[in-house]
Structure 1
């Protein structure tokens, strides 16, 4: 115990992965991640903002990839920044495949809004083929309809069941 007990963080043991050249998890130092608020399809504005975020101290930067124009711009973005890029994939599995092909270091997906199990497998294959790590998550806004019907509303139990599915 130190003089400042709130600083005594006991980290859960987990496997270390790489997001580009940044180790995450395991015994790696905690990595700082932020997200752009530019339209990713505007490659120059997004590159500027990623570089500003990196200069401010972020190790990893996430960009939104909701459409084809965004994933097309991603190739140029990834080539012109010094930090790994996480592609935040919205609703369409093909955006995940395109982002992996464009050079994203990591894909952030929510299987509940990507589609069928086969589509999720296609995104996983693209990530493996292109050396991307993946962050898989769930949130209340993207729960499957059957889970919303079962639980009546977004709740922790529904999110856990969605993640396990």
Structure 2
């Protein structure tokens, strides 16, 4: 018995050579757990991920050493690389200049609007997309005060960040909106999918131990994909 799933219509963007959204197949991503500045270990792990079928890889960029290592890592891998940056916008700028194919940021913790603008301007110049990543545990205080830690607060937080990037004429955006609670995550994505045509990266954050994390992720991601929500995972 075949199951016909009608996927949500979304805008298409590109992460390096990989298309996300539109009519493109759902792309599989993973993240390294190495120190990014340890180039041999990072490259070795990415090669294993490539062999397993990973199409896009994300690396942590907690400091300038990691940002600068992206150049060497990129020279030795065959799939697009996304830099995961928090707090310091200068790390995002350095990662772009080092050859990252995309960024994952939370504009709310990058700093003042002018710093977000600097990142958006350079990303547009280099032609790479930004993933707005919102987690239930780091929502803006005003939204938490008004809505609590709820799907509504998560969606409003994500769309607030998107509007900020749009105000800087940046439009190559995808969104992730995650909570450790599967039901909260599901409802947040459903609400978000109804309010924007931007491509969505689906997943469950802080899923827990190997066993519980696998169950939570499979349940959450599986249900969203069954409902036609999700362009990459």
Mark yes or no: TM-score above 0.5. Answer: yes
State the partner residue of 2:90. 94
Choose from 90, 94, 111 the match for 1:115.
111
Answering whether residue 159 of structure 2 is matched by residue 161 of structure 1, we say: no
Name which structure has the greater RCO, CA cutoff 8 Å, separation 6+. 2
- 1:18, distance to aligned residue in structure 2 (A): 0.9
Q: Within 1, Cα distance between the matches of 2:2 and 2:71?
A: 45
Q: Within 1, Cα distance between the matches of 2:114 and 2:138?
A: 18
- 1:133, distance to aligned residue in structure 2 (A): 1.3
State the partner residue of 2:166. none
RMSD: 1.4
Answering whether residue 67 of structure 2 is matched by residue 71 of structure 1, we say: yes
- 1:148, distance to aligned residue in structure 2 (A): 2.8
Q: Within 2, Cα distance between the matches of 1:49 and 1:70?
A: 16
State the partner residue of 2:21. 25
Q: Within 2, Cα distance between the matches of 1:91 and 1:145?
A: 17
Compute the TM-score of the two structures, normalised by the length of structure 1: 0.90
Alignment deviations for residues 99-121 of structure 1 (CA, whole Å, 9 cap, x no partner): 11111101011112112222111
Tell me, yes or no, if the aligned pair for 1:111 and 1:138 is still in contact at 8 Å. no
Structure 2 stretches lacking a partner, 5+ long: 161-233
State the number of aligned residues.
Answer: 160
Compute the TM-score of the two structures, normalised by the length of structure 2: 0.65
Tell me, yes or no, if the aligned pair for 1:64 and 1:70 is still in contact at 8 Å. yes
